[in-house]
Amino acid sequence: MAEPRSENNQPDPINGILLIDKPEGPSSMHACARVRAALRRGGAPKRVKVGHGGTLDPLATGLLVILCGKATPLCNTIMAGEKRYLARVDLSAFTTTDDREGERSEVEVRQPPAEERIREALNGHVGEVMQRPPAFSAMKVGGRRAYALARQGKVVELEPRPVTIHSIDLVSYEWPFVELDIRSGKGVYIRSLARDLGSALGTGGSLAALRRMAVGRFDIEHATPLDGLPELLTQRDLIPTAGLDEKAD
């Protein structure tokens, strides 16, 4: 399908959003590269800009909001929207990365906490809370990314910062795994929440799985699986951005 063209026969600027259901494994930037290549095959300029409205770690799956062309300046607007996650927390161990990709430190728990105790601990993490980002994160320490220092074996101590968690619902609990439904604001690390939950309970705490279900007004139900992305993408395949600069959600 030929791309839309203006009166001077030049490709019209790309401007829109694509919702991707990212599988476990690829990085968020890999997903952006896939979209960029498909847009180019559809006739977009070689230097078409493609970004995303909030990173998903390779371990995580779910909704990735891809911003194409003139929509890329909306990154901060999209990231400011409320996020919804389904998370699986392993209470049997801490890890160096606060998720299952890191080196495990098993915690001996003589008596697994009761469900009511877990609910009480979760309530303490709702609202505006101080949260310490993971050592393996993109936060900067002295001008360098924290994960780069951590990979070199250096001790990384990031300062806690205020974040907002709107709600945490306990979906299920079967030791050592807790399934959570989380609604949060910008900048929340679910890995940190898993770690801090374990600390509050006197158990381990690391993220075993994570799926993002919604970002602002966008929902996973309307996303295209990354592996099902068409070979060619044009302006007609993108969601218009009208009204998105008015508010985040």
Report how far residue 238's alpha carbon sits from residue 235's, in angstroms, rounded to the nearest whole number.
5
Is the bond preceding residue 176 a cis peptide, omega within 30 degrees?
yes
- Strands, E, within the chain: which ranges? 15-22, 50-52, 61-69, 83-90, 93-95, 104-106, 127-131, 140-141, 144-145, 161-174, 177-184, 206-215, 218-219, 224-225
Candidates 12, 21, 57, 237; catalytic one: 57
Active site residue 169: no
How many Cα atoms sit within 13 Å of 177 on the Cβ side?
Answer: 12
DSSP class of 44 = -
What residues does 153 pair with on adjacent strands?
A: none
Residues with catalytic annotation?
57
